[in-house]
Structure 1
């Protein structure tokens, strides 16, 4: 895949130069005896802080690796302790991992200018990370410390190659499912969606459940255009022309499906409210959404936290549906990945930690705590969620009935223009615009923005 070389951001260049100077000074001090460092190392505090490597027995200075969570991805402090610090401190006792949560929609640059520099970036678009000058090529580290992508599920390896040229390491797969509220189904005497396979069937169920009852507006399901398009691996930007690709017959099918949803009596709520899943927590806060097409990582953790607080919800999993021509698949594979930071001060150690996350030992912990392993070890799926109480009694097999799809061609500008997909849906839902007109209008807006962005970059 042809990659555009991006210039390092000035802030990153300054940080890298500072890191190189600091490293050189440290090495010079070490070579000359490092008197003050040796004196300090004799103190009780530093003596207690030193650890022995679990394999070699060699004493090493303590290292703290900063793990940036970026791009609206879910990773809690509890998960960092489970997945990273617990296993890592057994294998590399001198290393600890500290989570830095970069809020969704925020840029990394302000942190860099404050001198807060990542060693590992969890999540985020590889193209955006590379453009910021923060993506360290992994080939030298794979050669030095080893790496075996033959352990990975083929779809994971393919997606990693497509998205980053294999310059990221995968961590887990964020599979899509249908969460459904059993109490709403029971309230209206509708059968659970246990064997549903197509969006047409889902819409049929949604019609039965979308109604006002007891002063509550119940919604059968809400769907987003990008998610439906992902079920067919549709490009938003044509990789050949670098213009909008959203007027294809497949995109028309996506919006015709949305049109059917919007035409269900009662779906459009008071004040023309039609986007019911703008926030992740609607399923367990408002509890008026009967079915929710979402990913495991976004809801399983919060539902477990609620359970610990004594808040329960009567729910289960249904298999993720798709269009008739794509049965057996769900949506494009969503791999939560790790990027080695070019600005990091401990690249060797950070890579070793990243690689260790792909060991069977760690991936088993990941699996048992509610994330799906990237390893091609079928029996791990049998252990999915075993250590999470909220998943006890759930139909976990439904999670794995639909295979994730190969991603569409990535484009770094896509995130800047997908708002027009939502606007097109709004034109249909609220203004009665026909599908073809809405898509042509959106295409014109996207193409205009793409032209402007191209001129700005040149």
Structure 2
């Protein structure tokens, strides 16, 4: 019986050797032949969970287009599943339920670290390779500042002005086609803030930290680790907000002074004429709506800034991928993350409405080519301004930004003057920072 088994085993080996020899001959001098069907079948199926975290946008259609379709060709045994963590929701309940991410899309690196999910990438870069020379220098700089190189860039989320052409047409206001200062934009917003046929139209809604980003302002001074919000530049930011709040008709009933708390305000209510936001937050959802037969008449305008910073927009915003320390499939997850930087995948995301992180200017010429909602849009207006260098991150910044927003509210509806509002914000920030430093004495404040 043993001899019969041995004979069959030897015959099998001969058959395999012959098959391999025939395959090699057929492929000629090809250096890296594709895996045989039997090899592909032998690879264990892996499902990677991608957590979308921290207010970023990633639709189900985009997951298939950017991840699963190209991954199926490169890694046929791997599939990605999206887990949507709503903005502001804690991640811990999912972890407690045993729902563990392999990859995290978006999210503050500090928050990912605090959750114990940030894996160091150096060993994986050494094992599987990573060429940062292919990436835009501004992107590399942002990744290094925010995570010490422990995140991989996915796309650049450029800022832009979306504008509702129907509102401009209704009130006979010329479209914004050139780079403008915030004062010029506010002049336009005055003409578009009005009530008509029972509808309360708003010219534009602005947030203080977004305005401050146009000057790369620190909230916490890296030299003193105290609030930096009473500087002349911060005063200028709030003077601009004051001009907005002073537009007749802007402050609504019940002292409403904010109109763009949610991304869908622009395309659902359609009473906001100008919307300062980033590409990724709206393009995907607008395309999803188009597929449902819901459309609106809109276009892009270049992003404004203060007069002294014209030609730049706001600090660079990079959507990132983080390898989860809790993953049971770290090698596979890293290889998928690294593959997202291939020219093949970056071309797909560019043609479908996101901006590539690769230092290949020719890709910009293909922007939006494969997504119907961007047909006939003024794509050139997206690239008329350059993103700015980010200010030095502080790990406590996200915990004290609320005081900046409180200052804006005090000015809008509380009757408080700018200097008093900012001084109050500074006092509250410094008090919280002192408490946080006492609670975490060995923590480095800046990355």
- Deviation sequence 1:337-387 (CA, Å, 0-9, x none): 011111111111111110000000000111111111101111111111111
8 Å contact kept, 2:220–2:227: yes
1:34-433 mapped onto 2 (5 Å cutoff): 55-57=34-36, 58=39, 59-433=42-416
Instruction: Show structure 1 runs of 5+ residues with no match.
Output: 1-52
1:455: how far off?
A: 2.3
Partner of 1:446, secondary structure, is helix
1:197: how far off?
A: 1.7
1:187: how far off?
A: 0.9
Choose 1 or 2 for highest CA Rg: 2
8 Å contact kept, 2:49–2:82: yes
Partner of 2:271, secondary structure, is coil
8 Å contact kept, 1:196–1:202: no
| TM-score in terms of structure 1 length | 0.87
- Deviation sequence 1:88-136 (CA, Å, 0-9, x none): 1111111111111112111222222222211111111112212222111
The whole-number CA distance in structure 1 between the counterparts of 2:46 and 2:179 is 50
The whole-number CA distance in structure 1 between the counterparts of 2:145 and 2:399 is 20
The whole-number CA distance in structure 2 between the counterparts of 1:235 and 1:399 is 26
Residues 61 and 398 (structure 1 numbering): CA distance in 2 closer, same or farther, change over 3 Å? Answer: same
The whole-number CA distance in structure 2 between the counterparts of 1:457 and 1:448 is 15
1:167: how far off?
A: 0.8
Instruction: Show structure 2 runs of 5+ residues with no match.
Output: 1-31, 442-447
8 Å contact kept, 2:179–2:384: no
The whole-number CA distance in structure 1 between the counterparts of 2:287 and 2:196 is 29
Report what 1:11 is aligned to.
Answer: none
Cα-Cα RMSD: 1.3
Deviates more, 1:305-314 or 1:147-156: 305-314
| TM-score in terms of structure 2 length | 0.89
1:153: how far off?
A: 1.0
